[in-house]
Amino acid sequence: MRIERLSERVANRIAAGEVITEPLSVIKELVENSLDAGARRIDIEIRSGGLEKISIVDDGEGIFFDDAPLVFERHATSKLRNVSDLYEIESMGFRGEALASVAAVSKVTLQSRSQQEQQGFEMLVYGGNALSLQRIARDKGTRIDVEDLFYNTPVLGNFQKRQSILEGRITEFVSAFAVGNPQIAITYTVDHRRFFSTRGDENEAAAILSVFGEEALTHLIEFSMNTESFRVKGMQSSLGYSFPHRRRMIFFVNGRLVENPELRETLNKAYDGLLPARRFPMAVMWIFTNPGGVDVNLHPRKEHVRLYYEKELLQPLREALRRNLYQERAIPPLPVSNQKGPETSFIEEDADDEDPPDFSSFSYFEQQVKQEEVIQQVREPIVPVESFLDELHYLGSFKSAYLIFEGRDSMYIMDQHAAHEKILYETFTDAYKRRELHSQGLLVAMTISVGAQEREAWNRYRDDLHESGFETELFGEQRLIIRSIPHVFTQAQAKQYLLDYLAGSPDRSDITREEMMRKACKAAIKAGDAIVKAEVRQLIEGLKKTEDPMTCPHGRPIFIKLSLSELEKRFARI
């Protein structure tokens, strides 16, 4: 068979299969074009999961009429000129493939008007074929309607997921894009229902409030850090707020929404041991660096980036995120019902004759005031955890399980078992790492069976075992007697550890974290154990010495908070 050059139409269809794989791909390309065009407002609408219709309207700089024939040509772009530009990319798009790929698999109507022209234009492109181009009157900016996506590529169309899944993926992206670009007023509509609308006032907290709601915003803490090559700012969730998935981990690199496994892993490590198992934090993070330090040309969809100096970023970022959790705002608030107490009517019987109150301006004004109050909470001064613990005033206990404190216009409730468990866990762990262990003699010695390899290992490592707190000796050829074990072990833990050690376990020098947690949990005071005021003070002092006094080793909170304003709401005072 002879080699032939593919037609432009076939080449576009093949390229579309790489760039446009689902409706989300279309929306991502189009809104990034709007961002590059300097838009201050973007309206996004989808129908039937984006398969029936996608509409993107912006007020950006628009497109010149003379450039209209090039809009849907492959590798036609306003963002690159030379090969060297690939190493200093600051725009979201640069390949010149997106619109050509979209038009190849759908019916596209493009309307636009440049800021420097008096008239706009409308262009129709179906399946990659330009059908018409005409002048029209319209405002500056651009509108793109993409209809019947994949109508001419049944293979791609048949492999699309259910409408609810497509909508969910689009909503996840648009939500992240909106909170990451608070300078743009973004409206998102699904099947004629408005999901959210942001203000476009450059206020990150206001954007998060509009998209994710008050519950999310009130659990977020601001943070920032700088290195020689990076500047980072953002918001991270407090310890009482987590998710069973990683979809609320949102990262922007030089304004680009990216997927980066290393950044996700760094965020997870910052919360290691502070959240319950299989729970994940929320964070919105903006990372700024020299464009030359980022490679965005890894994939046609430009979702993944490579940071050339990521080693300089990741470790300091993990440490900064973890340190930022050691403050009073990280304490989860006690959930309080929004329902007010029963209202008593003092209206006289002839009150029907009175004019009804005028609520015409109440709703919007009250909503704006409420939003500003919530946004302001995020920017409250940071109270270091040491200062917070010093200011606590002990009031009493409830059911010999929960200790009640007063401090900073709030009431704090401590789980005494969780607090003591955390102190013991870090005490045991620190002693074990430093090998500052003392032996505890056993009333009845234990014995374990050993083979030739274990016996040889014992001969080689018995001095190390002795320094770790084990007193052992061989009894015959196949028995090892254990007379003393480290004080941080239970007998069962000591026996298993010794067997793993002699068998050459890769972690022979480390007791597992789970074993240390079980040890601390078993030794800690329990719910129902009454303690006196002096012991309460010892708990507070012990928490001060821990790395993180906010959560127990299992990730459950040690403190919860009930603020004065929440208490007054419950009593219908405000």
Q: Which two tokens stand for residue 469?
A: 């707190």
- DSSP assignment, residue 393? E
Give the span between the Cα atoms of 289 and 310, in whole angstroms: 11
Secondary structure of residue 122 in the 3-state scheme: strand
Cβ atoms 207, 179 nearer than 8 A: yes
* pLDDT score for 87: 47
Single-letter amino acid, residue 515: E
The reply to whether 219-326 shares the fold of 8-197 is no
Q: Give the CB-side neighbour count of residue 262, counting CA atoms within 13 A.
A: 13
3-state SS, one letter per residue, for 431-473:
HHHHCCCCEEEEEEEEEEECCHHHHHHHHHHHHHHHHCCCEEE
Distances, alpha carbon 284 to alpha carbons 48, 247, 267, in Å = 29, 11, 11
May I ask the CATH class of domain 219-326?
alpha beta
- What is the pTM (predicted TM-score) of this model? 0.70
Number of CB atoms found within 10 A of residue 393's CB: 9
CA-closest candidate to residue 114, choices 70, 177, 37, 62:
62
Secondary structure E strands in 191-327: 193-197, 220-226, 230-237, 249-253, 256-258, 283-289, 294-295, 306-307
CATH of 8-197, one of 3.40.50.300, 3.30.565.10, 3.55.10.10, 3.40.640.10: 3.30.565.10
Cβ within 8 Å of residue 1, ≥6 positions away: none
Q: Helix (H) and strand (E) counts for the chain?
A: 18, 22
Taking the chain (574 residues) in consecutive chunks of 10 residues, what is each chunk's mean pLDDT?
A: 60 57 91 92 96 96 91 64 49 63 92 94 93 94 95 80 90 95 96 94 93 89 92 90 91 90 93 85 93 69 72 92 80 58 38 45 54 63 75 92 90 92 84 74 88 83 82 87 82 78 59 67 82 91 87 87 85 80
So where are the chain's domains?
8-197, 219-326
DSSP 329: G
